[in-house]
Amino acid sequence: MANIKVPYLDLKAQYHSIKAEIDEAIARVLDSCQFVLGPEVAQFEKEFAAYCGTSECIALNSGTSALHLALLAAGVGPGDEVITVPFTFVASVATILYAGAKPVLVDIEPRTFNMNPAALDAAISPRTKAIVPVHLYGHPADMDSIREVARKHKLVVIEDAAQAHGAKYEGRSVGSIGDIACFSFYPAKNLGAYGEGGAVTTSNSEYARAIRMLRDWGQDRKYHHCLHGYNYRMEGFQGAILRVKLRHLESWTETRRAIVKTYNEHLAGADIVRPAEMPWARHVYHLYTLRADNRNALQAALLNAGIQTGIHYSTPVHLQPAYANLGYGPNSLPESEKAAREVLSLPLYPELTESQIQTVTDTLTALRCVS
C-alpha cells in the first residue's frame, strides 16, 4: 500500500493545536476530583445551550443516549411509530427500537441526502408519534416542510444533529428548530470529546426535566427514583474538554468551509457530483461527501495515491442484517440505496495543510478528468 499522504482523520493535529488549554482543563478536573457531572459539565451545558439558542442543554454520555432519552421524554413507547430515514448512522433507527416503538423509514432527497419531506405525509399513520430528521453530513434537513407536517398531525420533531453542531436553517441554529435535538460528541464529530459524549438541547422545560432525571437513574433527589432511569451521565473530563473546544468551534467550522470552497473550485471539472448547500442552509461540513459512479474503484485509486477516504454509509439501515425484520427489502427506498452505492467522503478537517488539500484535488482531477 502507498504511503499515506492525506489521512482521513488527524485527531493528533487538533490536540497539538490546543494542547496547553486542554492539559490545563484536564488538570482542573483532576484537582477537583469531580469525575461525573459536576461544575465543568454544568458550565458546558450553559455554554452549549447558548451556542444552540435553547434554554436547556442536558449533557450525556453519548449521542445514542441523547436519542434514546429524547424519544422517552417525548412519550414514545410500545405501539407508537417514529419516522426517520434509512440513510444515516444506525443509531437514528436503533434508538427507536430501544424506546419500544416501530421505526418507519422514508427515503432521502438526493441532493442533500436528507429526509424528503414529500415522502413524509404518505408515511403518517394514526400511530405516528414523532419524526426524527437527521442533519446528515452537517447539512440541515428541510425543517420548515418537516415541521409543517408535524404541526398538521401533532407530532414531536426530534432533530438528530449528531453531525451538525453549528449548522443553520434559515439563520436558526440546529438544535433549536425541532422540539428536542440530539448531539454526539464522539471524538470524530465536529465538536468531539476525548471519549464518548452527547447532549440533548431543548427549550421545553418539561422535556428537559424528564431527561435530567432519566440520565441519572430517574432520580428527582438522591435515592428517590420516580422514573425508570439510566446511567447516561457525562464525565467531568469530557465537560471540561468540550468547554475548551466549543470556544474554537466557529473558527474550525469557518476553516472547514474555506477548505470546501477550495475543493469545490478545484473539482469543478472532475466527473463527480460535489456536495450541495441549499440557499437556506449553513452547512458545517462534518463530511465532504461526493457522488461518483464506480465509487469503489475511485476509492482504491485514491488510496493508491496516498489519500484515505470514507464511505458513509455503504449499506442503508433497512438492508443491514439486524434490521431486515423492519420489512423493507431491496429497492424499497431507492434514493437511499443509490446514495449508498455512490458516496465517497474526502478528508476534511481544519488541520489539513494546503499541500494536502492540493494533493487531494490534483489526484482526483487527474483520475476523473472529463475531457
Which residues contact ligand PLP by CB under 6 A?
Answer: 62-64, 88-89, 91-92, 134, 160, 162-163, 184, 186, 198
Closest approach, Cβ 367 to ligand PLP, in A, equals 28
User: Which set of grid coordinates corresponds to residue 204?
Assistant: 421545553
Q: Can you tell me the distance from the alpha carbon of 234 to that of 196, in angstroms, rounded to the nearest whole number? A: 8
Contact between 302 and 364 under an 8 Å Cβ cutoff? The reply is: yes
Between 232 and 263, whose beta carbon lies closer to ligand PLP? 232
Residue number of the CB atom closest to ligand PLP: 63
Residue (91 or 242) nearer to ligand PLP, CB: 91
Output the smallest distance, CB 186 to ligand PLP, in A: 4
Residue 96 beta carbon to ligand PLP: minimum distance, rounded to whole angstroms? 12
Q: By C-beta, is 134 or 150 nearer to ligand PLP?
A: 134
Nearer to ligand PLP, 92 or 356 (CB): 92
Distances (CA, A) of 160 to 11, 70, 136, 365: 24, 10, 8, 34
d(CA 351, CA 10): 8
Min dist. Cβ of residue 66 to ligand PLP (A): 7
The residue (of 197 and 236) whose beta carbon lies closer to ligand PLP is 197
Q: Which helix (H) or strand (E) holds 81?
A: strand 81-84
Q: Report in angstroms how near the CB of residue 64 gets to ligand PLP at its nearest.
A: 3
* C-beta of residue 245 within 8 angstroms of C-beta of residue 18: yes
230: number of Cβ within 10 Å: 18
Nearer Cβ to ligand PLP (249/305): 249
Nearest residue to 317 via CA among 72, 136, 124: 136
DSSP 2: P
**Nearest residue (CB) to ligand PLP, 177 versus 357:** 177
Distances (CA, A) of 327 to 93, 103, 104, 105: 13, 10, 10, 10
Q: Which is nearer to ligand PLP, 134 or 326 (CB)?
A: 134
CA dihedral 69, 246, 22, 63 (to 10 degrees): 20
Element (H, E) at 181: strand 180-184
User: 186 or 285, CB closer to ligand PLP?
Assistant: 186
As measured in angstroms, the least distance from the Cβ of 356 to ligand PLP is: 24
Q: How far apart are CA 364 and CA 57, in angstroms?
A: 41
Cα angle for residues 41, 46, 51 (degrees, 5° grid): 120
Looking at residue 153, what DSSP letter applies?
Answer: H
Q: How far is the CB of 1 from ligand PLP (least distance, A)?
A: 28
What are the cell numbers at 74? 417525548
Q: What minimum distance in Å lies between the beta carbon of 65 and ligand PLP?
A: 7
Smallest distance from the beta carbon of 181 to ligand PLP, in angstroms?
11
Residues contacting 139, CB < 8 A, separation 6+: 112, 113, 114, 164, 167, 275, 276, 277, 278, 281, 283
